[in-house]
Amino acid sequence: MIVDVSEQPIERPVKHQKQYYSGKKKSHTIKAQIIACAITGKVLSVVCAKGKKHDFSVFKESRLPIHPNSKLLADSGYQGLKKYHENSMTPIKKQKGVERSKEGKSFNKSLSKKRILIENINRFCKIFRIVKEVYRGKHKNYGLNWRVVAALVNMRYGFI
């Protein structure tokens, strides 16, 4: 399985602005965490959260039942995932003042080749304008919109 988060800008909320402000994007956003199967490419789960919440916090709070034997691939935003799922892989970070070893570089390269599928799935989802451009709808409907788009992507690209 592969995990990644996609952020979408929203209009500036009238109330509770701090909860939606993403320092990474420098705007008010909503996040959608996508979990997909690495073999079939099918979107298995979509979890939504406010823009301020960290990617790893979204994963921890979703409490999705993931089988212990399944391999979980994630980006560097999920550092510390090994504590929650033993069979997980995240990129090796470079330490200050020390160059990354050749083994570390080759591991990161092979991991990114496996993870490219989730980035492509994100792109397939972003073809639909409702999850691409500024979201102007009710925030309570945001998860429903993403689930519908994920189902359409699964159907359109034959992942079902």
Which residue reads 């990161």 in tokens? Answer: 108
Task: Let me know: does 20 contact 121? Beta carbons within 8 Å.
Answer: no
In the chain, the percentage of residues whose pLDDT exceeds 90 is: 32
Predicted confidence band of residue 159 (pLDDT cuts 50, 70, 90)? low
pLDDT of residue 12: 86
Task: Round to whole Å and give the CA distance between 131 and 29.
Answer: 12
Give residue-wise pLDDT tens across range 10-57: 888 888 888 888 877 788 999 999 999 988 889 999 999 988 888 898
Average pLDDT over residues 146-150: 93
Supply 13's token pair.
């909320």
Architecture of domain 2-155: 2-Layer Sandwich (3.30)
Average pLDDT, the chain: 88
Q: Which of 37, 41, 32, 105 is nearest to 62 (CA)?
A: 32
Which residue reads 């799922």 in tokens? Answer: 85
Task: Let me know: does 71 contact 88? Beta carbons within 8 Å.
Answer: yes
Average pLDDT over residues 138-145: 89
126: number of Cβ within 10 Å: 15
Average pLDDT over residues 105-131: 91
pLDDT of residue 96: 87
pLDDT of residue 160: 55
5's enclosing H/E stretch is strand 2-9
Average pLDDT over residues 140-154: 91
Check pLDDT > 80 for residue 1.
yes
DSSP 21-80: EETTTTEEEEEEEEEE-TTT--EEEEEEEETTS-HHHHHHHH-----TTS-EE--GGGTT
- What is residue 115's DSSP assignment? H
